[in-house]
């Protein structure tokens, strides 16, 4: 297959265990023979599951999906702690595990639900002075980071067998599942490490739409054109954002990069009897043909700003 410059959109990959997200991305680029691509949300090598890959023009909107929430299914092991907070790391300590039920575990898990502060694990991609923490950790330097606010929407204990516990987790961006399990182990006073993890949803992308790297190779071998059946268009992926339909004349002004006064734009929305929520960060502007013209930051978030802030303009649509 020759170099393909025509692929634009999002391909949802089921990342295999053992690869970093970057390594999985490079595999996709190699298989598809494309240069411009990026992934939407880091997964540790131990983790599998949803890894959105943004191809071509879709890289311009990746940030919107990076800010989306995440859903996981996984398992943790009680009775040990490791440097990495998962089963792959060097064991720091071993503990006797008390007789604890699923119900008791759920009570502890419930204490993490809501907005909490979390300190990134020492072996992570979080950066200190521009360098990932895991590189310091490999040199024996465990750099403490300031805690960050995250949100835990659901944390369900599903099953316990011996010292292994299966769980379901729904959380915000920036959540380190390893750190959450480590903190749970601290509250239990018997230690806990992440033993397996599978991301089943990231933003609007679910595992049901994901394909493996092997599937990707098979599809291309059978018929390269069929890959388009698995690529989600930018317009389709962004359908969850509120939209404003504008005339061809208005859309042309946007494409030319003309500034829009915030007050005038809000008046236009009111005149059109459109309802916007101040909780929405992004808004789609589409033309009368349904084509995506631009993505803007919601002016309700900063109504005192003199001009509407463009996030992306799609001049080719």
Distance CA 90, CA 267 (A): 60
CB 86, CB 193: distance < 8 Å: yes
CB within 8 Å of 293: residues ≥ 6 apart: 246, 251, 254, 255, 285, 286, 287, 313, 314, 317
CB within 8 Å of 23: residues ≥ 6 apart: none
Q: Which of 44, 69, 99, 162 is catalytic?
A: 44
Residue linked to tokens 């009111």: 270
DSSP 8-state class, residue 307: B
CB 280, CB 274: distance < 8 Å: no
Distance CA 287, CA 120 (A): 43
Distance CA 226, CA 308 (A): 40
Strands 47-55 and 192-202: parallel
69 catalytically annotated: no
Distance CA 127, CA 244 (A): 38
Q: Which three-class secondary structure state does DSSP give residue 172?
A: coil
Residues belonging to the active site: 44
């Amino acid at each position: 297959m020759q170099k393909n410059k025509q692929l634009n959109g999002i391909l949802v990959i089921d990342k295999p265990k053992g690869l970093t997200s970057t390594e999985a991305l490079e595999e996709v680029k190699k298989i598809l023979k494309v240069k411009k691509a990026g992934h939407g949300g880091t997964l540790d090598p131990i983790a599998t599951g949803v890894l959105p890959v943004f191809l071509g023009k879709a890289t311009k909107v990746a940030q919107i999906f990076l800010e989306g929430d995440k859903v996981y299914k996984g398992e943790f092991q009680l009775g040990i702690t490791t440097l990495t907070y998962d089963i792959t790391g060097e064991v720091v300590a071993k503990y006797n595990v008390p007789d604890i039920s699923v119900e008791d575990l759920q009570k502890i898990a419930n204490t993490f639900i809501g907005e909490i502060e979390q300190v990134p694990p020492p072996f992570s991609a979080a950066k200190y002075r521009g360098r990932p923490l895991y590189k310091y950790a490999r040199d024996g330097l465990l750099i403490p980071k300031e805690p960050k606010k995250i949100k835990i929407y659901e944390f369900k204990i599903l099953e316990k067998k011996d010292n292994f516990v299966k769980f379901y987790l729904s959380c915000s961006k920036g959540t380190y599942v390893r750190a959450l399990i480590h903190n749970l182990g601290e509250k239990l006073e018997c230690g806990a490490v992440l033993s397996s993890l599978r991301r089943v949803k990231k933003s609007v992308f679910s595992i049901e739409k994901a394909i493996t790297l092997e599937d990707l190779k098979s599809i291309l071998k059978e018929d390269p054109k069929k890959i388009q059946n698995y690529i989600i268009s930018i317009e389709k992926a962004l359908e969850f954002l509120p939209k404003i339909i504008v005339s061809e004349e208005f859309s042309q002004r946007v494409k030319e990069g003309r500034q829009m006064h915030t007050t005038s734009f809000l008046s236009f929305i009111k005149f059109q009897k459109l309802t916007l929520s101040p909780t929405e960060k992004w808004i789609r502007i589409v033309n009368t043909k349904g084509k995506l013209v631009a993505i803007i930051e919601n002016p309700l978030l900063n109504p005192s700003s003199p001009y509407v802030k463009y996030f992306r303009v799609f001049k080719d649509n």
